[in-house]
Each structure stands twice: as C-alpha cells, then as structure tokens.
Structure 1
Amino acid sequence: MAPYRMSPSELAELKKQLEELLEKQFIRPSVSPWGAPVLLVKKKDGSFRLCVDYRQLNKFTIKNKYPLPRIDDLMDQLRGATVFSKIDLRSGYHQIKVKAEDIQKTAFRTRYGHYEYQVMPFGVTNAPAVFMDYMNRIFRPYLDHFVVVFTDDILIYSRTHEEHEEHLQTVLQILKDKQLYAKLSKCEFWLEEVKFLGHVISKDGVSVDPSKVEAILLWEPPKTVTEIRSFLGLAGY
C-alpha cells in the first residue's frame, strides 16, 4: 500500500517521531518486501501517536488465542484489601523485542523512508496476547495473591501496610530484573482508594467508576459499525 497523504504539519511531526524511534533503536531502516502505511492519531492531550496500519499483515497472521482475563474475575481477587499501588509501564509493547526472523514483517513506508520495528509495535493483531502472556509468566507466582495484571497495567493490593511494603518491593524487583520500565507520571502508590479498569476499589469494596457511567449516558447514539464497536467496548469495560 502507498503511504497515506499528510499535511505539512503532520509530515513535520512524522519526521520528528521517526528520528526519536531511530535514536531509541526501536526501528531501523528496512529493505523488507513488506510495507504498511502510517498515520498520525491525535491523543487526548493534543499530541500525536504514530500508528502503522497493519491490516494487511494481520489478515495473514495466525491468531494467538491467549485469553485476556475477565475484568469481573480480577475484581473478585481484591476483596479484603485496604492499600493499593498502581504501576503503568512506559510504552509496554516497545519493551518486548521482535524475533529476528519476524522483524521484516513489521516494515512500514513513509515519505522519509522504509523502516521496520525491532520491538513489538502497536497494531499487530497478536500484540495484546503476546504481552499479556509475558506479563502473566513473570508475575505468575503472585497472581491471585497480591498482583493483578491487565496488559501494561499492574495493581498491587494488600490487607495491611506491612504486607504492602513487602509486596511492592517484590513487584519492583521483578520489573528491575526484567528491565521493564514504568511511566512514573501514571503510577500511584500507597492508596486507600484506586481507579483501575473502570472501577473504584477501596477497603469498602469495588464499584463502577462514576466517570465511566457518565460517559455512557452522554454517548451519542452510534450510527456506524465503528461507532457501535467503540460503544460496546466502553460499555463492556
């Protein structure tokens, strides 16, 4: 597929982000026969996310059926907890390396050249399953005891402050050993009440986050398949 058309301001942003990805060694120049187009998607804070349209690659990908956990099952584990900490990994997918033989499949085309990812990119169909499997494996001894993992979100929960200190040290040591990095601005520690996966959790129990209910009530009636999927995703969350 040919590169998508972009405005001059979008091209400037694209060039900037490509330079950053190259500097971090997340991507490298490519001579791959694969080549997906890219686009910029505006985020809530007004900045842009570089997205690769991997729809053609995904059509030929054998799907990984690793299950994502049910949110209500995760919430059931939290009964009796009184203190919480929440850790958000920084660009979690980009902390997983792509197998050497698969790197060429991640290639994408831009006005500024042909590149491929050396780390797991957003948009490939199996990325959520691969990442969830990895996170569950490294935290398996502590799941159902004091850790909840949902993709790149980690919740540590404890019955007492003394337990929590020990639990928090355990989780942070695992992240250090595996060289996984958190985004400090999105992390919260030693909370009596925490918002996690669309719920508010405290010693009094688990309830639906009021802001999620309000968002559903204010949602415009969906008119397209995409809008219906977006609504169902929010309602299910």
Structure 2
Amino acid sequence: MPSIEVALERCRGMMYYAMFDFLKGFWQLPLHESCREVLSCMTDRGVFTPTRVPQGSTDAALHFQSTVEMALGDLVNKSVIVWIDALLVFAETAEELVNVIEAVLQKLDEFGFILNPKKCSLSLTEVKWCGRIINKDGIGHDPSRIQALREMPPLTTAAELQQFLCATNWMRAGLVDYSRVAWPLQERLDAALAGTNKTKRAAAGIQLDLTMEELESFEAVKNLLAHSATLTYPNPSKQLINGSRKYPSSNRTTSC
C-alpha cells in the first residue's frame, strides 16, 4: 500500500476536490479459478464457492488497489489519489476538475468499474477523506473522530487497546512525540497478544488491568489528540535547513 501521507502531498495548491467510492468494491473483481476452491465457505446448507474477490482475504485490498491504479494509469498521484476503494480527485481550478473527473470516469468505465452515487461528492473546496480534513491550507484530522477517541473510557481488554492504538496510529503524523508517549501502551499490547494470532477475536478475550504508567500514557495520548496539528504541504522550492545540537536527541527543520 502507498503511504497516504506522501500521496496527499500532491494536494498542495489544489483548490477543488471530488470524491468517489466504488459500489461493493472487491465484489467487482473476478476471482481466478485457481483461487476459488481455497476460498470456499462450508455451511450447513452446502459449500459456497465465490467467483468474485471476497473482502477479508489476505491480498484482496492490495489486489484491488493495484487494479484501480492500473485502470487510472497516469492520472494516479497526478490528479487522483487511490486508497483501496476510495478516490480523491483534485485540481487547481473548477474547469480543470471537470476535465479530470471526465477522464477518471472514462477510464473506470473502460474497465467496467461501477461507482456508488450515494458516496460521490463533486466540486468541493474542503473534503473529509479517509479520516482527514483536506483543503488548500493543509491536512488535519476529522474532529468527530478525535472527539470519539478522547471520550473513550479506560481500556479493559486487549481488543479495546488494539483498537485505540490502531486509530491513533492512523493520526500519528499530526501528534507530536506520539511514539514515545504511546510506548507503554504498545508494550502492554505486545505482551498481551504474545503467543496468539493477534486477531480481534483473540484480543477480545484478554482482560487488562492497566498500571498507573499505562493509564498516564492513555491520558497523554488523548491529550495529544486534543492538540492535533494541521499539517501544511511541503514546498519543494523552499530550502530546508537543519538545526542540530551538540547532543542530537532531536533536530529542527525550517524552510526559508
């Protein structure tokens, strides 16, 4: 999978956006005959063998991502960002956006892809996409998601801890010193899931009694969420200057 943070750097200077979502995404891709038997599902009513790519299979997301990128060709990361079944289209002007949308729809139609009209939005100056708020000034995180995480009660199972860390890790680019602050929680999760298959079902059955240090880490991460930074876009025309210290535990990068 591509880095979503790197991909979104292409939105620098873009004023207009559109979003598209596929209708029953994975189900639109045919499943090769050699894979059908191993993905069959046995029930009390018989064995059901899929002919389309089922969501949840190991490589389904990667396969869908690469297929959509192949369909869109040179538009990818130039005018369109692909994240599995979600597309973000961007342009500097409204007229250019219309042209890009037409090109995207034409290419998708050639491959037989179908979009979900209920999840498509056109001609926006700010979008909420993949949990991020994107506009010409930079990239922030959805306030409603931040609020939901900040209101989480103390964690009592490994599944809750896993969910919390996965959600905050998705936002880590805007959270200062996240790795250090969240480390006690990550250590506890690794210890709790040691020797298991690390699935949600396995984690749900593991009870946790967080230590004082871990509770402090939990509250500190929620405090980071409250002060989540809106990231501006890097400007390749600017000169970057690193200011280092004699004992380089950290450094500072500024543009001029």
1:121 aligns with 2:23: no
1:20-169 aligned within 5 A: 68-169=1-102
Deviates more, 1:179-188 or 1:127-136: 127-136
1:188 aligns with 2:121: yes
For residues 229 and 120 of structure 1, the distance between their equivalents in structure 2, rounded to whole angstroms, comes to: 27
Deviations 1:85-104 (A, max 9, x none): 10000111101111111111
Partner of 1:212: 145
Deviations 1:157-187 (A, max 9, x none): 0000111111000000011111111111111
User: Quick one: which amino acid aligns to residue 25 of structure 2?
Assistant: G
Deviations 1:125-149 (A, max 9, x none): 1111111121222223112211000
Is the Cα–Cα contact under 8 Å of residues 108 and 114 in structure 1 kept in the other structure? yes
Is the Cα–Cα contact under 8 Å of residues 72 and 108 in structure 2 kept in the other structure? no
Decide which structure has greater strand share. 1
User: Quick one: which amino acid aligns to residue 122 of structure 1?
Assistant: Q
Alpha-carbon deviation of 1:108? 0.6
Decide which structure has greater helix share. 2
Alpha-carbon deviation of 1:190? 1.0
Partner of 1:229: 162
For residues 163 and 179 of structure 1, the distance between their equivalents in structure 2, rounded to whole angstroms, comes to: 24
Partner of 1:6: none
User: Quick one: which amino acid aligns to residue 90 of structure 1?
Assistant: L
SS across alignment from 1:156 = strand
User: Quick one: which amino acid aligns to residue 130 of structure 2?
Assistant: L
Alpha-carbon deviation of 1:207? 1.6
Alpha-carbon deviation of 1:226? 2.4
TM-score, normalised via structure 1 length: 0.68
For residues 148 and 128 of structure 2, the distance between their equivalents in structure 1, rounded to whole angstroms, comes to: 15
Give the number of the structure whose alpha-carbon radius of gyration is greater.
Answer: 2
The RMSD of aligned alpha carbons is 1.4
Identity level (%): 26
For residues 127 and 215 of structure 1, the distance between their equivalents in structure 2, rounded to whole angstroms, comes to: 29
1:175 aligns with 2:98: no
Partner of 1:197: 130
Partner of 1:19: none
Deviations 1:21-48 (A, max 9, x none): xxxxxxxxxxxxxxxxxxxxxxxxxxxx
Q: Structure 2 stretches of 5 or more lacking a match?
A: 171-256
Alpha-carbon deviation of 1:225? 2.8
Matched pairs, number: 170
Q: Structure 1 stretches of 5 or more lacking a match?
A: 1-67
TM-score, normalised via structure 2 length: 0.63
SS across alignment from 1:149 = strand
